[in-house]
């Protein structure tokens, strides 16, 4: 091959947004549905979400969180309980106004049974969960209350993009109640750290954690903390958020408890979440011009075996070898879970099948033909390497060392993303350079001195750049805020963002 | 104790429906919410559902089903595609008519942004999934398509009861597409058998599988098959259903494929589901006048350790012993899963804590005091035995034999339910005896000769008895149908039902 032939057209270089759509399509991850702004998560895409759920859920349980389930529909009046919250959410929610359908004179179904009070489909559940918490929390003995919910939520979005922004999406939302301000703040940080660990170790995505600037806070929160990841088009994605809600929601929902001295106090609450957006984020960070690249820990399947044979006699021999191999692989554990492996015996031309599986992002692909069986070695291809590379490994050795191999692929994907993020993060202390970075260069993350008076700054609006967060553990800048010329209070990460 | 003191009041004997509510409340499983007809599944109740999900999902994956996710909202016109289906579901659905809220002149939120076409919240997803399937299925090579979805659904219910009948509930719904009628029918049976296995082996509930009579079919199905379980008040609960849909839905949704000869055909589809109703069903079948009884395989926690101590010195010693024990238990596997164990160190009086944990249905309860530590034995109580019984076991032996102990509890609960079902199932071939059985006696299941002309029979309506199903593998009756006097076509199970 003189000219590199890519499996995905256009390439990232040529047209990043369109490349993203084509990667999603080629890997058969998801599709748009007839329901406005909602996607269908196809098995290969939903499988990733299942692995996100399983692994994140385990981390949450290890830190004493328990799952529960609350109603999908929230009485309209509940949204009105917290003033900032209603402003933030009321403008984009699905409203249920009727509970029955009837046929009109032409037999066409029309809404009937009008409700006295309409409901909204939960855009987030602080208010409806707060209603339960006001009953569950009576005494300091009931605290802390550490609840998580896996659920679908809905926000009526005008411009949608598969996984990244859809009207309905799947997520987990944590809601906790504490006796003291300190405990609630500690919880908010514990969760942000847990998200960082999960996203880095499972999705192989390096992130920067920090505090959101006031204009980017969750509606009703005292503080919002986030982890921010960098995509290959240099834009940021907020990969997870954790909110310290102070007593705002406990006052709105009347969550009170009797303290050890018998006095009644309002409790302190937090909320936090990650969503199916993580999948979009992971696609844009790792995939290449040959399609999807999946970190082994959350890959729907980790290994695919492609049997190669001619005629029925070869077929039986090759397939039975593959079945034995697949069984051995599945009996091996990686990350304390059985390794996920399938045999791809679809009736397809070999080259087409190979490219289809490359585009699907299987971390490891094994081709098994008669010669391999005779030599008892396997031809191994890894998705983190060029499609041209291959390695022959004794089949027993392969199975025995598979956990280390999967971990090394996981590590490689992470390291590549980390280098990219580091290469495209720059400390910028002058406004001219800042403008040049985002206007003329493909600027990634800028770390710049900032002060609160810079909120609503016109330069940022023009550049379509936003403050991502105020990274933790930083010294107070000596420089002036590049937007206002006043003393800077912090360094802030700036970027274009999804 | 002369008089038996029960933890739950009223007893099953005194008032079964109220006993059920009190068991749910005492075990802290769920509560009613402010949203009409919707429940909140509290952690102890939701934990059971998580175990149902995990284990059933594994069985579905072993039989080559894969999970996907489809939109919550269905365009109203979709419901109209299949004539019987619309009749069955249109009268009880939540309708979304607006996508925004605005404040009126008094600042009160009102629905705005009226939708051109309203949506209904899915009562079941055949029609919206059919839309995707019409694109996914093109050739016989795409078949069979074996999809499952874990989701929330909503049916506007007038009379609700926690777990058993709620407006919103959680379930899995399987939807499959096949090239031939036979393959689709085979799938329907495979799933019913899988449900039977799951419900019997995991929920410890014996069930009778069979075909629904025509009047009890799913709206739009050619045949509906069910598994029916018996509650302790002798009533039946339909624990799971599997529907052979023929070509009805493939015609409504235009699911066509090219067969091996290049001709276009309509595909054959099935659908099937079980829901959070299973939890209600399990409570009513196994629990007793002391509260919840949980089969170990699906118990939220399988073992609770209650430390007993006085003063700080004892406390440290007892707690560290309990922590070591808990760690050893969690490192042991039962049913290929880590055993679920917690230490209950709540600040509560000992007797109150004991009764609270009995009411919660922990399969095994261990009390650990100083004397037990000195003797290195454990005081074991099992929920399938009387609260007065206890057993002292060497702690190493206990941990080593714990998987067998949990399996024996599982088996005991199943056997008890099976005896009850068998004792309360009677073959009845005369109408007088049938009426007497349900009117004067606490009739359970009646197996009676029946013919299709008995549908809409007045006697059944008066007795509030319904045909549950036509059990598989039966001989044609020699008797006449007890309702019509005509030749009977089958024996049918009759019962009062939830």
CB contact under 8 A, A76 and B109: yes
- Nearest CB neighbour to A72, from listed B42, B43, B154: B154
How close is the nearest chain B Cα to the Cα of A470, in Å?
33
Q: Of B329, B317, B327, B330, whose CA–CA distance to B373 is shortest?
A: B317
Residue of B nearest to A338 (CA): B336
Q: Is the pLDDT of residue B2 over 90?
A: no
Q: Is the pLDDT of residue B21 over 80?
A: yes
Burial group, residue A404, by CB count within 10 angstroms (0-12, 13-18, 19+): exposed
Cα→Cα distances B457→B32, B356, B454, B461, B493, Å: 36, 47, 5, 7, 15
CB contact under 8 A, A109 and B76: yes
Q: Of A81, A154, A78, whose CA–CA distance to B99 is shortest?
A: A154
Give residue-wise pLDDT tens across range A122-133. Answer: 999 999 999 999
Q: Is the pLDDT of residue A169 over 60?
A: yes
User: How would you label B180-207 residue by residue, b for 16+ Cβ within 10 Å and e otherwise?
Assistant: eeebbbebbebbbbbbbebbbbbbbbbb
Q: Name the β-bridge partners of A466.
A: A495
Q: Is the pLDDT of residue B313 over 60?
A: yes
Q: How far apart are CA A483 and CA A492, in angstroms?
A: 12
Which domains are present in chain B?
A: 16-96+125-286 (3.30.930.10), 301-404 (3.40.50.800), 425-495 (3.30.110.30)
How close is the nearest chain B Cα to the Cα of A344, in Å?
13
Confidence label for B414 from pLDDT (cuts 50, 70 and 90): very high
Residue pair A60/A148 in contact (Cβ under 8 Å)? The answer is yes
CB contact under 8 A, B99 and A90: no
Q: Is the pLDDT of residue A422 over 50?
A: yes
- Nearest CB neighbour to B46, from listed A67, A78, A113: A67
Handedness of CA B181, B186, B188, B189 (dihedral sign): positive
Q: How far apart are CA B235 and CA B337, in angstroms?
A: 34
Give residue-wise pLDDT tens across range B121-152. Answer: 999 999 999 999 999 999 999 999 999 999 99
Residues of B in contact with A39 (CB under 8 A): 71
What is the per-residue pLDDT for B98?
97
CB contact under 8 A, B168 and A71: yes
How close is the nearest chain B Cα to the Cα of A472, in Å?
34
Q: Is the pLDDT of residue A92 over 90?
A: no
Give residue-wise pLDDT tens across range A194-246. Answer: 999 999 999 999 999 999 999 999 999 999 999 999 999 999 999 999 999 99
How close is the nearest chain B Cα to the Cα of A85, in Å?
13
CB contact under 8 A, B47 and A70: no
How close is the nearest chain B Cα to the Cα of A92, in Å?
5
- Nearest CB neighbour to B71, from listed A35, A80, A111: A35
Chain A contact probe: residue of B73, B168, B341, B356 with most A CBs at under 10 A: B73
Count of CB contacts below 8 A, A vs B? 198
CA B237 and chain centroid, separation: 9
What are the phi and psi torsion angles at A300 (to 5°)?
A: -55, -50
Residue of A nearest to B116 (CA): A36
CB contact under 8 A, B347 and A108: no
Residue pair A390/A379 in contact (Cβ under 8 Å)? The answer is yes
Q: Is the pLDDT of residue B3 over 90?
A: no
Percent of chain A with pLDDT over 70: 99
What are the phi and psi torsion angles at B65 (to 5°)?
A: -85, 145
Chain B contact probe: residue of A25, A76, A95 with most B CBs at under 10 A: A95
Q: How far apart are CA B463 and CA B438, in angstroms?
A: 7
Q: How far apart are CA B497 and CA B186, in angstroms?
A: 28
What is the per-residue pLDDT for A410?
98
Residue of B nearest to A276 (CA): B69
Kindly give, in sequence order, each residue whose CB lies less than 8 Å from that of residue B458, ignoring residues fewer than 6 positions away. Answer: none
Cα→Cα distances B359→A67, B226, B365, Å: 20, 31, 12
- Nearest CB neighbour to A40, from listed B78, B132, B168: B132
- Nearest CB neighbour to B109, from listed A68, A73, A80: A80
What is the per-residue pLDDT for B1?
39
Give yes or no for a cis peptide into B437 (omega within 30° of 0).
no
Give residue-wise pLDDT tens across range A359-409. Answer: 999 999 999 999 999 999 999 999 999 999 999 999 999 999 999 999 999
CB contact under 8 A, B152 and A152: yes
- Nearest CB neighbour to A95, from listed B66, B98, B108: B98
Gyration radius from chain B CA atoms: 26
CB contact under 8 A, B132 and A73: no
Residue pair A402/A341 in contact (Cβ under 8 Å)? The answer is no
CB contact under 8 A, A72 and B168: yes
What are the phi and psi torsion angles at B76 (to 5°)?
A: -55, -40
SS3 sequence of chain A = CCCCCCCCCCCCCCCHHHHHHHHHHHCCCEEECCCCCCEEECHHHHHHHHHHHHHHHHHHHHCCCEECECCCEEEHHHHCCCHHHHHHHHHHCCEEEEEEEEECCCCCEEEEEEEEEEEEECCCCHHHHHHHHHHHCCEHHHCCEEEEEEEEEECCCCCCECCCECCEEEEEEEEEEECCHHHHHHHHHHHHHHHHHHHHHCCCCCEEEEECCHHHCCCCCCEEEEEEEECCCCCEEEEEEEEECCCHHHHHHCCEEECCCCCEEECEEEEEEEECHHHHHHHHHHCECCECCCCHHHCCCCEEEEECCCHHHHHHHHHHHHHHHHHHHHCCEECCEECCEEECCCCCCHHHHHHHHHHHCCCEEEEECHHHHHHCEEEEEECCCCCCCCEEEEHHHHHHHHHHHHHHHHHHHHHHHHHHHHHCEEECCCHHHHHHHHHCCCCCEEEEEECHHHCCCHHHHHHCCEEEEEECCCCCCCCECCCCCCECCEEEEEECEC
Cα→Cα distances A99→A26, B92, B97, B190, B453, Å: 40, 6, 11, 36, 35
What is the per-residue pLDDT for A37?
94
Residue of A nearest to B45 (CA): A68
- Nearest CB neighbour to A101, from listed B31, B69, B95: B95
Give residue-wise pLDDT tens across range B462-471. Answer: 999 999 999 9
Chain A contact probe: residue of B42, B60, B88, B94 with most A CBs at under 10 A: B94
Residues of B in contact with A33 (CB under 8 A): 70-71, 128, 131-132
Confidence label for A4 from pLDDT (cuts 50, 70 and 90): low
Q: How far apart are CA B40 and CA B29, in angstroms?
A: 9
Q: How far apart are CA B276 and CA B414, in angstroms?
A: 20
Q: How far apart are CA B282 and CA A162, in angstroms?
A: 40
User: Dihedral through CA B173, CA B174, CA B176, CA B181, nearest 10?
Assistant: -90
CA A455 and chain centroid, separation: 27
- Nearest CB neighbour to A94, from listed B99, B152, B347: B99
Q: Is the pLDDT of residue A2 over 50?
A: no
Residues of B in contact with A67 (CB under 8 A): 43, 46-47, 50
Residue pair A491/A474 in contact (Cβ under 8 Å)? The answer is yes
Query: Would you list the DSSP string of B181-246?
Result: HHHHHHHHHHHHHHHHHHHHHTS---EEEEEPPGGGS-TT-SEEEEEEEE-TTS-EEEEEEEEE-T
Residue of B nearest to A39 (CA): B71
CB half-sphere exposure, A31, CA atoms < 13 A: 15
Give residue-wise pLDDT tens across range B219-250. Answer: 999 999 999 999 999 999 999 999 999 999 99
């Amino acid at each position: 091959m003189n000219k590199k032939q890519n499996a995905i057209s256009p390439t990232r270089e040529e047209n990043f947004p369109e490349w993203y759509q084509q990667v999603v399509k080629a890997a058969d991850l998801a599709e748009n549905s007839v329901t406005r702004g909602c996607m269908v998560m196809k098995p290969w895409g939903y499988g990733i979400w299942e692995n996100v759920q399983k692994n994140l859920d385990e981390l949450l349980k290890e830190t004493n969180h328990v799952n529960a389930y609350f109603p999908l529909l929230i009485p309209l009046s509940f949204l009105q309980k917290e003033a900032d919250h209603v402003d933030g959410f009321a403008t984009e929610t699905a409203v249920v106004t009727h509970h029955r359908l009837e046929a009109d004179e032409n037999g066409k179904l029309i809404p009937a049974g009008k409700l006295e009070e309409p409901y909204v489909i939960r855009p987030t559940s602080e208010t409806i969960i707060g209603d339960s918490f006001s009953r569950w929390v009576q005494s300091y003995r009931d605290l802390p209350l550490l609840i998580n919910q896996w659920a679908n939520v809905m926000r009526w979005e005008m411009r949608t993009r598969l996984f990244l922004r859809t009207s309905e999406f799947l997520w987990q939302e944590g809601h906790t109640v504490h006796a003291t301000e300190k405990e609630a703040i500690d919880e908010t940080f514990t969760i942000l750290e847990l998200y960082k660990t999960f996203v880095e170790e499972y999705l192989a995505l390096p992130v920067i954690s920090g505090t959101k600037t006031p204009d980017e806070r969750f509606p009703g929160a005292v503080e919002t903390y986030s982890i921010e990841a960098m995509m290959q088009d240099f834009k940021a994605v907020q990969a997870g958020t954790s909110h310290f809600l102070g007593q705002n929601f406990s006052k709105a929902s009347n969550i009170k408890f009797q303290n050890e001295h018998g006095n009644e106090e309002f409790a302190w609450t937090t909320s936090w979440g990650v969503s199916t957006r993580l999948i979009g984020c992971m696609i844009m960070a790792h995939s290449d011009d040959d399609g999807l690249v999946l970190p082994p820990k959350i890959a729907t399947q980790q290994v695919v075996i492609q049997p190669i044979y001619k005629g029925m006699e070869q077929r039986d021999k090759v397939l039975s070898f593959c079945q034995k191999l697949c069984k051995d692989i599945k009996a091996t554990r990686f990350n304390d879970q059985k390794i996920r492996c399938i045999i791809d015996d679809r009736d397809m031309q070999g080259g087409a099948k190979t490219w289809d599986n490359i585009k699907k992002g299987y971390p490891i692909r094994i081709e098994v033909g008669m010669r391999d069986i005779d030599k008892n070695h396997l031809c191994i291809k890894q998705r983190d390497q060029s499609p041209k590379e291959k390695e022959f490994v004794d089949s027993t050795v392969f199975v025995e060392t598979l956990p280390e191999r999967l971990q090394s692929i996981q590590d490689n994907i992470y390291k590549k993303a980390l280098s990219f993020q580091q290469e495209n993060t720059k400390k910028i202390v002058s406004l001219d350079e800042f403008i040049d970075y985002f206007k003329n260069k493909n600027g990634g993350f800028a770390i710049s001195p900032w002060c609160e008076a810079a909120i609503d700054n016109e330069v940022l609006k023009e550049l379509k750049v936003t403050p991502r967060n105020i990274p933790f553990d930083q010294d107070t800048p000596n420089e002036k805020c590049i937007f206002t010329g006043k003393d800077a209070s912090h360094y802030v990460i700036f970027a274009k963002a999804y």
